Amino acid sequence: MALMAGLRVPARALLRSGCWLRGAALAGAEAAAGLGAGVRRFGSQRVLVEPDPAAGVAVVKLKSPPVNSLSLELLTELVISLEKLDNDKTFRGIVLTSDLCGVFSAGLDLTELCGRSPAHYAEYWRALQELWLRLYLSGLVSVAAVNGASPAGGCLLCLSCDYRVLADSPSCVIGPNETRLGIVAPFWFKDCMVNTVGHRAAEQALQLGTLFPPAEALRVGLVDQVVPEDQVQSTALAAMARWLAIPDHARQLTKSMMRKPTADRLAKHREADVQSFVSFVSRDSIQKALQTYLEKLKQKG
Ligand SMILES: CC/C=C\C/C=C\C/C=C\C/C=C/C(=O)SCCNC(=O)CCNC(=O)[C@H](O)C(C)(C)COP(=O)(O)OP(=O)(O)OC[C@H]1O[C@@H](n2cnc3c(N)ncnc32)[C@H](O)[C@@H]1OP(=O)(O)O
């Protein structure tokens, strides 16, 4: 741990801030490329939105150090940003990526699932459902530029997009590792997996809690492209251009036809799903398993 302005800041977070410095340099490059003139970034504390109105595209960056774990705050801020972009006719597509080095998203924030009240678990789960439904059914083209590890809930975020580009680095693992924590992915995560990689591959990955390295993720169809780390965002934008070449109304109706039945399974039973999660996560055995996993993570650090 390093001490900074009276705050305990993990050394890893300081290292990752190298990415933020690189981000500042990139902002200069964007300005030189024309993005700066009259175009302002917006967003919130944990979600940075870099709009390119001329292209109709916004790059949405998760920036909740150290690992973009999906806290209630991050879920809420992401929903608000997506809602804003969905309702703004300027935008036809989003690229979802991470502002941190080496991690796209560590999945659900385990501190939200440990030692809290049933009311908190319910509020948290509703926020996760909300984010998934909004992203999965968004009329915008969504491309995930996966520039870091993306386990469990991070993988769900990626699967909710229309297209996935993954960085070719051994640390950039992606997959549904829930069972390794002693927990179970919800049915709508399972459905997303099945829709993406097929029943057999989904069944194996979900039961075994597989975290796929890039080449395997590509082979199984969990991601659509694997490219060098420094080409993830440009490749995502190139993919976006291909998707935006299709008229919105036709693409959106097709997307809805493909995805609505899956989303409706949750939309029609949201409250039952919340209660099922609350009773599962409140069990002593699950609390113990999550605490143990979290402690191991902290010791590793
Ligand atoms: C109706 C439904 C019924 C029942 C359903 C029940 C449950 C719900 C089930 C499924 C949905 C999805 C579940 C999840 O997403 S669970 C989370 C799974 N995530 C992981 O296993 C990832 C764990 N993290 C890592 O592997 C690494 O941190 C990572 C590879 C992402 C980055 O490695 P790095 O070496 O860069 O960082 P670390 O030193 O490991 O971590 C830094 C710091 O961050 C803390 N941390 C990491 N991950 C989490 C997390 N997910 N939540 C909270 N905190 C996290 C870690 O402890 C370190 O903290 P500190 O030591 O204090 O700095």
Query: In angstroms, rounded to a whole number, what is the distance separating the alpha carbons of residues 113 and 117?
Result: 9
301 lines ligand 1 (CB under 6 A): yes
Provide the β-strand partners of residue 148: 102
Centre of ligand 1 to C-alpha 179, Å, is: 13
pLDDT of residue 20: 43
Nearest to 139 by CA among 87, 96, 209, 72: 87
106 lines ligand 1 (CB under 6 A): yes
52 lines ligand 1 (CB under 6 A): no
Provide the β-strand partners of residue 212: 174
The residue whose CA is least distant from atom 21 of ligand 1 is 151
pLDDT of residue 78: 98
Residues carrying an active site annotation = 108, 153, 177-178
Centre of ligand 1 to C-alpha 5, Å, is: 26
DSSP per-residue letters across 80-105: HHHHHHHT-TT-SEEEEEESSSEES-
pLDDT of residue 39: 66
If one residue of 271, 294, 297, 298 were mutated to test the ligand 1 pocket, choosing by the most ligand atoms within 8 A of its CB, it would be 297
Residue pLDDT tens, the chain, 301 long = 332 222 233 434 434 444 544 444 444 434 433 344 456 788 899 999 999 999 999 999 999 999 999 999 999 999 999 999 999 999 999 999 999 999 999 999 999 999 999 999 999 999 999 999 999 999 999 999 999 999 999 999 999 999 999 999 999 999 999 999 999 999 999 999 999 999 999 999 999 999 999 999 999 999 999 999 999 999 999 999 999 999 999 999 999 999 999 999 999 999 999 999 999 999 999 999 999 999 999 998 7
Q: In what order do the strands lie in the sheet with 141-146?
A: 42-43, 47-52, 57-62, 93-98, 141-146, 163-167, 225-227
* Cis? peptide before 176, omega within 30° of 0: no
Centre of ligand 1 to C-alpha 157, Å, is: 14
pLDDT of residue 197: 98
Instruction: Give the type of residue at 276.
Output: S
The residue whose CA is least distant from atom 39 of ligand 1 is 301
pLDDT of residue 41: 83
Centre of ligand 1 to C-alpha 150, Å, is: 10
